Amino acid sequence: MDWLAQVSVGEASAPTQVIIARLVAAAVLGGAIGFEREMRERAAGLRTHMLVALAAALFTIIAIEILYSLRGLITTGVVDPIRVVAAVTTGVAFLGAGAIIQRNRAVRGLTTGAGMWMAGAIGIACATGHLVLAAVSAILAVLILWALRLVEHRTTKAGRRRSDQER
């Protein structure tokens, strides 16, 4: 393991096992949203959501580590770690936009795009150590996707029955 110390940057802001746990948590929680999308046979499913959450977490951890390694070296200027959140959000928004399709005046994929955006936010939360916030958000997201789909389905069916009866 001596070679690992030689190729590593040096001291990290958190122990390696903590960083790994945060990355794993991001992938698992992003996967919870992706699993629901996968069950609905959407284009962006389990793997996509896991990768979005993991990438968001990794970019955030890298930013934290860069700031940590530069502490004391930066004496002028402003270092703004929030820019990483903005950059991750922009990247995820680009992916989410790719999931949205407009066909015959109907827009499809908005929920999948929103799920990918949520996966990115969950990744950032995991990376910054807010695992409870990330877990609660993932649970709420899955509940919204699952439970409200049932409500939507029932109200749409009821609306169709009414319009069929009016004809």
Could you read off the pLDDT tens digit of each residue along the chain, which spans 167 residues?
566 666 666 677 888 899 999 999 999 999 999 998 888 777 778 899 999 999 999 999 998 888 887 776 666 666 677 888 888 888 888 888 887 776 777 777 888 888 999 999 999 999 999 999 999 999 999 999 988 878 877 777 665 655 555 55
Is 6 within a domain?
A: no
Q: How high is the pLDDT of residue 6?
A: 63
**C-alpha closest to that of 91 among 119, 112, 62:** 119
Is 50 within a domain?
A: yes
Is 1 within a domain?
A: no
Paired with 101 in beta bridges are 108
Is 66 within a domain?
A: yes
Domain containing 122: what range? 12-166
- Domain total in the chain: 1
Q: How high is the pLDDT of residue 111?
A: 84
Is 5 within a domain?
A: no
Is 2 within a domain?
A: no
Is 7 within a domain?
A: no
